[in-house]
Structure 1
Amino acid sequence: MRKKLIYSVVLSSLMFMGCNDEFLEGENTSVLTAEGIAEHSDTYTALLDGSLNGITSLIIEPFGITGDSHDDFGQKGVDLWTDIVCGDVALSASAYGWYNAPANLVSTVDFTDDTNSTIWEYYYRIIKIANGVIENSGGNETIPETDDAKRIMGQAKAYRAYAYYNLVQLFQRAYDPDQEVLPFYNIDTYSLEKVKASVIYDQIISDLTDATSLLDGYTRESKNQLDKTVAQGFLAYTYAAMGNYADAKVYADAVINAGYPLTTTGELAYPGAGSGFNDINAASWIWGYDLTEDLGHQLIDWWGQMDYFTYSYAWAGDTKSIDDLLYSKIQDGDVRKDQFGTGAAPLQPINKFFDPGRTVAGQYVISTDLILMRSEEMYLLSAEASANLGDDATAKAILLTMLTDRMGSADATAYVSPLSGQALKNAIYLQTRIELWGEGKSYFAMKRNQATVTRGSNHVFRAGESFSYDSDEMSFQIPEIEITNNPSITGQN
């Protein structure tokens, strides 16, 4: 087990600016004054951008936390763990064992399992870096004046919120604002003790509200970077997790209105024109990562775990397939049913996630891109919000808009028209699971919908078993190394 004390992020975050000593000469503070920032603005901006780029790199970095685990590759690693835990992604064969613990729901009941410590340290490391950028931009309450300063502060606050949102969702069984859940560090407050979930959610909302304002008018160079629309998407998810569907709908609709189109019928499944969720230039992608060969990603990458056409685990015997019970609920004639294979790759996503060369085990150095947010998420979340607000007509109209290109107009109308009340909510949840399969969204939808999930027959572990969203098996454990080394932590959530 790694010897690094995870709780030490609170201590080391106070030492962020070692490389900035030359700017602090003559000042008795670790935070630059406005005059100091102005005097060295060009270099200072580059330094803070370097820290933000450190977060960007960590989000996609193989071995970024553990240094050696083949399931450690940033956000998409977490996405895969959550998809497996909630059961929509089935570990349908296991030759190497990397996903046995989460698939057997051992990780979520055993605080000594390294999955927990990897997730914990990954998000707290992002918080540490973001806190450093915010502190050295003047602090939580600073109102930046220049465009660069606004962008830097906005992105740092959005990253901090993103990390806290994921932590509180993963380590709390169900939304309870009064439950003490996590240690909390936001520059002004450093608590090694767990604070109430309401404190975490208040910080997330505050950070993202600031970020949407600070990033207004900013045009990013690539979809790797956070902008106002991504921050609004985070806000929509956060409000929905809190059960505040009125505000969730406001922000989901704001993202929809930003102009990202729906994925076309042809793009949804091979051999359609432009098919394959593998290119950041797809018009429906809001946030993602452009993987290029010069990054040198091989074997240890989300693509290696999911793609039959990449030289790695999915091809070699650790197969991830759609849960066969979920697959059976996709209507015949729905193009999304064609995303999954038969024969040599049963129910593997060979027509959704694939290297365009489509040679079995052919992609060695990975250049297919990583998806983190796309327009359909917000359509589905907006429909979910409308249904939970009692506005069935609007929910059905949004759902019909999305499903028409998937099922065809007649079948989509026949499916949506009779829905109302709880049946409509259930349908939106089901379509969320189908549409966003394998993208790391099903786990959070399960919690929002307070669902019970039942595994199909094609899981190596726990086939046929059912689990409630708030069961012990469906949330992660504060890791052993934190419990052992942080005397202020008592017990699990």
Structure 2
Amino acid sequence: MKKKNILLYTLGLSLSLGLYSCDNFLDLEPISMITIDNAYVTGSQLEAALTGTYESFQSSDYYVWDHVLFQDVRSDNHYAGGDNPEIFQIDALNINPTNGRVFNAWSNIYNAIAKANLVLERAPAITDPALTEQRRAQIMGEAAFLRAYHYYNLVKLWGGVPLVLETVKSADPAVVRVPRATEQEVYAQIIADLEFALDNRLPDTYGSDASVNKARATKGAANALLATVYAQMPTPNYNKVLEHANAVINSSAGYRLLENYDHLYDGNHYNNDESIMEVQYLGSNEGNWGPQMHLPPSLSGDTWRKFTTPSHDLVNAFDAEGDEIRKNATMVFEAVPWADEYWSNQTGSQVPFAYKWRNASGWASADRPYIFRLADIILLKAEALNELNRPTEAAQEVNRVRSRVSLEDVPQTTAASQTQMRTVILKERRLELAQEGRRWDDLVRYGVAREVMNNLNETDLRTGQRVNYNVTDADLLLPIPQQEINRNPTLEQNPL
């Protein structure tokens, strides 16, 4: 990932006001008596603020759905589908600075960071005797993890971004215009937050209730994020990736691969042993609207054209591997009443649909995206071992994941080659994690995003012409939202 020129950046008044907007998770009465100084003086108020910080996973469009657009639709895994010009831009890797999905992602993630900052700032000053020192430390560890996770998503999408580490108390431009940090500085802050969280603050579990342990930051989640960060940063540290991946795999939390891959997505096995952390959608008024966007008419109950259509290249990758188990868990084919520019010009033809979220429930699904699960971390461990020139050991980790879906072990001749194992691991991550918001990062990390996208053989059936993605280095990062540049004309745009 290329380095960026660093100029001043203003977060804008909307973000500074967002520091005080706690959506619907705080019910502090009487409202007329509440100020920023007296709203966070008890342990229960701090707990409510922390709950609001977690709530960003459910309320933010980025964590509901856009992370799939910027990872799977942007890559070779899925087409845009649907009828939204802004998502067509993402699919074509021709994303404008005025794209609303780009602005929403930026704003939503910074709003989540603002909530975490508020908890971290207020927690040390609370003197409520009902708040034990152990719980205070845990709360701060949870908030630090959440801030780190959000900054990780920012830095891998945009490169260097403004580091805002405390609440903004003024709308003065001199205060809100925060300079962009470098990628290295952002990654350093992420690592510092995670080390802070792990330093006697986060537990392995919060008890025996899986719905709590999988919903909240734990040592397992922090180590999973650290393994991911050390792999994705501009200069990877694979010794650290291995260290933190092993910490997850050997955790006393007892993570293990489910025997049945389909159970990860069937809606009946959430908060399972493979899950490290997941968004806790409950349905009804606490539901996930994402499944309604991509499920076929027979499952969604409506007949408009759906989004996030699996690509020919992804289908071919499953078929070439003979990977029926993961293919059938990842997509479902159905005849549709619309024409599709990649699958058929005729209505009534079979088209694949994204299938890892399977219950639309009228825009109020209980289907849950995984934030981290064990197979992802096992494959990161394999990647680390291979990059440390231990390809045979890397193959053993890959085989753990392949055996679950009844695929043969990696051939010994392949396992002896570091170069060949790179190809094997990247392919295995694609088949294992499709529609889980990992693919674009993997292509960038492996240094093959341009090659893979420009070598795709996709035909637009409306014209009969091959699609030319024409990916350059400038496409590896998203453009800074134009709305943010308008607030600060000195902010230089990422190369377009």
Q: TM-score, normalised by structure 1?
A: 0.78
1:245-264 to 2 correspondences below 5 Å: 245-258=238-251, 259-264=254-259
Identical counterparts, % of pairs: 20
C-alpha spacing 1:197/1:160, structure 2 compared with 1 (3 Å): same
Runs of 4+ in 1 over 4 A off after TM superposition: 13-22, 29-32, 95-98, 188-191, 361-364, 415-419, 458-464
What letter matches 1:424 in structure 2? M
CA distance in 1, matches of 2:475, 2:286: 36
Per-residue CA distance 1:387-406 (angstroms, 9 max, x = gap):
11111121111111211122
Matched position secondary structure for 2:317: coil
CA distance in 2, matches of 1:231, 1:429: 23
Per-residue CA distance 1:28-87 (angstroms, 9 max, x = gap):
x9889xxx99xx6xxx222222222222222112xx5xxxxxxx3634322333211123
1:370 CA displacement:
2.8
1:104 CA displacement:
2.6
Match of 1:471 among 450, 470, 473: 473
Match of 2:154 among 151, 167, 177: 167
Per-residue CA distance 1:321-352 (angstroms, 9 max, x = gap):
332223222212552233333452533244x4
Where does residue 385 of structure 1 map in the other structure? 384
1:192/1:488 contact within 8 Å kept: no
CA distance in 1, matches of 2:412, 2:437: 26
1:325 paired to 2:316: no
How many aligned residue pairs are there?
Answer: 435
1:291 paired to 2:281: yes
Where does residue 443 of structure 2 map in the other structure? 446
What letter matches 1:483 in structure 2? I
Moved more, 206-215 or 273-282: 273-282
CA distance in 1, matches of 2:458, 2:86: 21
Matched position secondary structure for 1:341: strand
C-alpha spacing 1:231/1:440, structure 2 compared with 1 (3 Å): same
Where does residue 120 of structure 1 map in the other structure? 106
1:192/1:486 contact within 8 Å kept: no
Where does residue 51 of structure 1 map in the other structure? 49
1:168/1:200 contact within 8 Å kept: yes
CA distance in 1, matches of 2:405, 2:241: 25
What letter matches 1:102 in structure 2? I
C-alpha spacing 1:335/1:211, structure 2 compared with 1 (3 Å): same
1:75-90 to 2 correspondences below 5 Å: 75-90=64-79
1:164 CA displacement:
0.9
1:77/1:302 contact within 8 Å kept: no
Matched position secondary structure for 2:365: coil
What letter matches 2:388 in structure 1? L
Where does residue 482 of structure 1 map in the other structure? 484
CA distance in 1, matches of 2:43, 2:287: 29
1:240/1:448 contact within 8 Å kept: yes
Q: TM-score, normalised by structure 2?
A: 0.77
2:86/2:100 contact within 8 Å kept: no
Root-mean-square deviation over aligned CA pairs: 3.5
What letter matches 1:482 in structure 2? E
C-alpha spacing 1:255/1:405, structure 2 compared with 1 (3 Å): same
Where does residue 345 of structure 2 map in the other structure? none
5+ residue gaps, structure 2: 1-9, 126-130, 169-174, 336-349
CA distance in 1, matches of 2:426, 2:437: 14
CA distance in 1, matches of 2:470, 2:397: 30
1:161-310 to 2 correspondences below 5 Å: 161-172=148-159, 181-187=160-166, 192-213=178-199, 214-216=201-203, 218-219=205-206, 221-242=212-233, 243-258=236-251, 259-264=254-259, 266-268=260-262, 276=266, 279-295=269-285, 297=287, 301-308=289-296, 310=299
What letter matches 2:239 in structure 1? A
Matched position secondary structure for 1:373: strand
Where does residue 374 of structure 2 map in the other structure? 375
1:219 CA displacement:
1.0
Matched position secondary structure for 2:181: strand
Where does residue 119 of structure 2 map in the other structure? 133
Where does residue 425 of structure 2 map in the other structure? 428
What letter matches 1:252 in structure 2? A
Per-residue CA distance 1:227-281 (angstroms, 9 max, x = gap):
12111111111111121111011111111112211132x333xxxx786366423
What letter matches 1:53 in structure 2? T
CA distance in 2, matches of 1:274, 1:76: 18
5+ residue gaps, structure 1: 65-71, 173-180, 356-360
CA distance in 1, matches of 2:66, 2:418: 36
C-alpha spacing 1:80/1:290, structure 2 compared with 1 (3 Å): same
2:19/2:167 contact within 8 Å kept: no
1:284 CA displacement:
1.2
Per-residue CA distance 1:181-226 (angstroms, 9 max, x = gap):
2122112997622122222111100000111221035516242222
Per-residue CA distance 1:112-161 (angstroms, 9 max, x = gap):
1111111110111111111111111239xxxx971210111001111111
1:364 CA displacement:
5.8
1:366 CA displacement:
1.7
Matched position secondary structure for 1:226: coil
Matched position secondary structure for 2:272: coil
1:31/1:138 contact within 8 Å kept: no
